[in-house]
């Protein structure tokens, strides 16, 4: 089943403050309040939890890589998240070795 597109007529368009790509309000909550796209908002949350010591990167590695990939595939600049992407890759590599 295909996910419904929640972009709608009359919703604001803005530039994401992290990846600089144009995005729209999609009604998912706080990401619009800080003018971030959904992927940057989610990555920022993971990054904050990791920096605060509240989560293990290995548990969220798939999410990190998925959101990072989504930003890049949509033309965004994910450079500010390179370090957390590298941490996720290192954690997965260490687990498999």
Render pLDDT for 13-65 as a digit per residue (tens, 0 to 9). 888 999 999 887 766 666 667 788 889 999 999 999 999 998 889 899 999 99
Would the pTM of this model clear 0.95, i.e. be above it? no
Are the C-beta atoms of residues 97 and 89 closer than 8 Å to each other?
Answer: no
Classify residue 32 by its DSSP letter: G
Distance, in Å, from the CA atom of 43 to the CA atom of 51, rounded to the nearest integer, reads: 12
Residue 32 has a pLDDT of 65
pLDDT score of 78: 93
* Coil, strand or helix at 80: helix
- pLDDT of 34: 79
33: Cα within 13 Å, side-chain hemisphere: 3
Please tell me the distance from the alpha carbon of residue 1 to that of residue 72, in angstroms, as a whole number.
25
Asked whether the beta carbons of 76 and 19 are under 8 A apart, the reply is yes
The Cα 8–Cα 13 span in angstroms is: 10
List the chain domain ranges.
37-96
């Amino acid at each position: 089943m295909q996910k419904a597109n929640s972009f709608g007529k009359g919703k604001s368009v803005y530039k994401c403050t992290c990846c600089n790509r144009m995005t729209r309000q999609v009604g998912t909550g706080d990401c619009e309040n800080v003018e971030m796209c959904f992927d940057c908002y989610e990555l920022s949350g993971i990054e904050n939890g990791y920096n605060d010591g509240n989560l293990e990167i290995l548990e969220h590695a798939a999410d990190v890589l998925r959101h990072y990939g989504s930003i890049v595939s949509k033309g965004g600049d994910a450079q500010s998240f390179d370090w957390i992407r590298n941490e996720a890759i290192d954690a997965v590599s260490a687990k498999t070795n």
